[in-house]
Each structure stands twice: as structure tokens, then as C-alpha cells.
Amino acid sequence: MSKMNRREFIKIAGISTAALSGVLPSLPLIGEPTRPNLPMDLAVVRNGQPAAMVRKAVEMLGGMSKFVKKGQTVVVKPNIGWDRVPEQAATTNPEVVAEVVRMCKEAGASKVMVFDNTCNQARRCYTRSQIQKKAKEAGADVSFMYKQKFQKVRIPDGIELKTWEIYTDALKADVLINVPIAKHHSLSRVTLGMKNLMGLIGGNRGKIHNHFNVKITDLNTIIKPQLTILDAVRILLRNGPQGGNLKDVNEMNTIVAGADIVAVDAFGATLFGLLPDQLGFLKEAYSRGLGEMNLDKLKIKKVSLS
């Protein structure tokens, strides 16, 4: 074999890199399509300390070991989107996030990662939401997202979104736990679990807003958290998703947990006095078989801690 000179090497390396980058990974489904057998669909806990409510809700579903097995890697995805403090209810309650991380660790997770693709500058959001500090204390790896870690992924069941950039760490993790906060949102009326997953994608995210219901459902066909824990300790009633005014915040002291993201969101709607079928994205997701939105078909158990 003749020796390869430098020019040839660069040429071949270039061609092979280009060829490789043209091949999109096909459907590395995030999350597990088959759900574990749970004693109920939704666990709703009220009137307690944030951490205690989260723990109770997960225990009612059968405990974290139903979702996280020993040695698994877990991504906990809170909403860290905004440069706001917890009292303003624009970001997930840091105590809630920390408690989820702690329970994952107790269940034997080898690594718990916490991150979000923020709307305001990431360091500001991570700091002021207190999530970075509290999650780190609970044992999570909290890092700012890397542009190198987004990869374009095909969305086979996507109607409008055929491909999109998704974060590799989320794709690779064994378990994805979605920890949204319940907030008002002018476009979708409320933002709950399904919209929270926008924090795992890159690209021109504003484009998701155009034909939002279809596109957010497309995204939810490929990113499927095993567990969704809705933080409704404080909810934002108006001027969401950032708020800023404490008069728009309502102390709800509620945590909703379930494996079915559509069911969690359907219950979440009622916290705002809405019916699930008033929300376009829920109807879209339900009609495409992503989950159950009819509350009367769900087994819901409610507990008050005081």
C-alpha cells in the first residue's frame, strides 16, 4: 500500500467527516415507551413542604425505584428558563428539583444530570433560580449546555417537525424525569409538562411557536419522560411565562406526579380553572395517542399533608 501523504489524508478525513455528519441517527427514543405498572395514574399531594410533597407523590406511585434502577443515568429536567427568583414562580421550585435528585440518588442512580436550555443568559438563570446550588447540594451534576452536544435527530412520527436538534445527554440517559412548573402562557394558555421539554432542544426554538400544538406534540413523540412531576407549589396566573409581579403568583402548594405526561398536563389545566379540552396541545397529543386527557378515565389519588 502506498504511503498516504498529508494532502490525501486531509482530503479523505474531510470526505469521511462530511459523509458521517450527513447520516442522521434514527430514533434513539428518549424514555421508555412501555410504562411500569403503577398503583395509580396521578398522585396529587397538597398542603405540605415542597420536598415532602414531592417525596409523598413519588412514593404513592410506588417509589422512585419503579422508575430509576441501580446504576442508571438520570436526567432531571426542571424549568430554569428565566432570570427570576423562585418567589416569582417562573422557574421550577429549587426544593422540588433537589428532592427529585435526592430520590434518584437513593434509588441508586449512578449519575443525575440537571440542565436546561435557558431563554435568558444561562448563568443568570441557573444562579437566580437557585436550582444550580440546591441541585448540586443534592448530588446532581449541574452544567450549562454545550453547543457540541446537540445532535440532529429524525422525528419519524412528526407531522411538521421532521428533524430537530436534541441534546445528546438527554438522548443517552437511561431515565428522563420532567419537572416543569405550572405557569400561564399567552400562546398555549398554560405551560406544563409537554412544553417544558423545549428545554432539551436547540435550533431556532421560536419557530416551534408557529403551529405550536402540532409541533410541540411532534417533539413529544420523540422525547418521552418516564416520569413527570408538576411543580404547582407556586403557580403563575398571568403575564407568564416570566411573570415578575408577585400579585400574579398563587400559592397552590400542590405537586402532581404521573408517568403519563398528557394526564399530568390535563390535571395541571384544572389548577388554572381550565378544562383539558380547552388546551389545543393536549387535544393534539391525545388524538395522536400520546396519553390520556380525560380526567374521568384516570385513576387519580389526592392526599393532603396537613
Partner 1 sequence: MERLRRISQILFLIFFLYLFFHATYPYEGGIPAEIFLQMSPLVAVVTMIATRVFVVSLLLGLIVLALSFFLGRYFCGWMCPLGTSIDLMDRLLGRIRRSDRRKVQKFRPWKFSVLLVILVAAIFSFQFVWFFDPIVIMTRVTTTSLYPLAAFFIDGMMDVLLQIGIFQDPLFSLYDFLREIVLPLEPLFFQQSVIFGLIFIAILLLNRFAKRFWCRYLCPLGALFGFVSKFRLTRGISIDEKICTKCGRCQIACKMDAINDDLNSYNPIECVECMSCIEVCPEGAISYKMNFRLGSEKTDVSRRRFIWSTATGLLTLGLVKTSFPDKVSQGNVVRPPGALPENEFLDRCVRCQECVKICSTTGKALQPAFLESGWEGIWTPIVNARHGYCEYNCNLCGQVCPSGAIHPLELEAKQTLKMGLAHFDRNRCIPWYKNEDCLVCEEHCPLPDKAIKFDVREVKAQDGTMRVVKFPYVDESLCIGCGICVTKCPVEGPGGIFLTNAQEQRWGEDESSGEGYLENF
Single out the residue of 294, 251, 305 nearest to residue 57, CA to CA.
Answer: 305
* Cis peptide, bond prior to residue 241, ω within 30 of zero: yes
> Applying CB under 8 A, does 72 fall inside the site for partner 1?
no
Single out the residue of 94, 97, 153 nearest to residue 128, CA to CA.
Answer: 94
Count of positions on this chain that bind partner 1 (CB under 8 A)? 32
Q: Among the candidate windows 72-80, 115-123, 153-161, 269-277, which touches partner 1 by CB under 8 A?
A: 115-123
> Applying CB under 8 A, does 73 fall inside the site for partner 1?
no
Q: Among the candidate windows 91-99, 182-190, 260-268, 281-289, which touches partner 1 by CB under 8 A?
A: 182-190
> Applying CB under 8 A, does 47 fall inside the site for partner 1?
no
3-state secondary structure 158-185: CCCCCEEEEEHHHHHCCEEEEECEEEEE
> Applying CB under 8 A, does 218 fall inside the site for partner 1?
no
- Report CA Rg, the chain: 20
Helix (H, G, I), strand (E, B) or coil at 35: coil
> Applying CB under 8 A, does 242 fall inside the site for partner 1?
yes
Residues 11-30 that bind partner 1 (CB under 8 A): none
> Applying CB under 8 A, does 189 fall inside the site for partner 1?
no
> Applying CB under 8 A, does 212 fall inside the site for partner 1?
yes
The residues, ordered by sequence, that sit 6+ positions from 300 with a Cβ below 8 Å of its Cβ are: 40, 41, 42, 44, 267
Q: Among the candidate windows 22-30, 47-55, 179-187, 218-226, which touches partner 1 by CB under 8 A?
A: 179-187
> Applying CB under 8 A, does 265 fall inside the site for partner 1?
no
For residues 209 and 302, which CB has a smaller minimum distance to partner 1 in the complex? Answer: 209
Residues 142, 150: Cα–Cα separation, whole Å: 17
Binds partner 1 (CB under 8 A): choice among 35, 136, 154, 185 = 185
Residues 306, 298: Cα–Cα separation, whole Å: 25
Residue 223's DSSP bridge partners are: 30
The residues, ordered by sequence, that sit 6+ positions from 284 with a Cβ below 8 Å of its Cβ are: 213, 214, 216, 217
For residues 162 and 211, which CB has a smaller minimum distance to partner 1 in the complex? Answer: 211
Binds partner 1 (CB under 8 A): choice among 8, 39, 47, 124 = 124
> Applying CB under 8 A, does 244 fall inside the site for partner 1?
yes
Residues 128-157 that bind partner 1 (CB under 8 A): 128, 143-144, 146-148
Q: How far is the CB of 128 from partner 1 (least distance, A)?
A: 7
> Applying CB under 8 A, does 186 fall inside the site for partner 1?
yes
Place of cell 424514555: 31
Task: Report the greatest alpha carbon distance in the chain.
Answer: 80
Binds partner 1 (CB under 8 A): choice among 31, 48, 180, 241 = 241
114, containing H or E segment: strand 111-114
Q: Among the candidate windows 67-75, 173-181, 201-209, 270-278, which touches partner 1 by CB under 8 A?
A: 201-209
Query: Taking the alpha carbons of 218, 149, 192, 27 in that order, is the dihedral positive or negative?
Result: positive
CA 178 to each of CA 16, 197, 275: distance values in angstroms, whole numbers, following the listed order: 37, 8, 22
Q: Among the candidate windows 1-9, 153-161, 208-216, 264-272, which touches partner 1 by CB under 8 A?
A: 208-216
> Applying CB under 8 A, does 9 fall inside the site for partner 1?
no
> Applying CB under 8 A, does 123 fall inside the site for partner 1?
yes
Binding site for partner 1 (CB under 8 A): 83, 119-124, 127-128, 143-144, 146-148, 185-187, 204-207, 209-212, 239, 241-245, 248
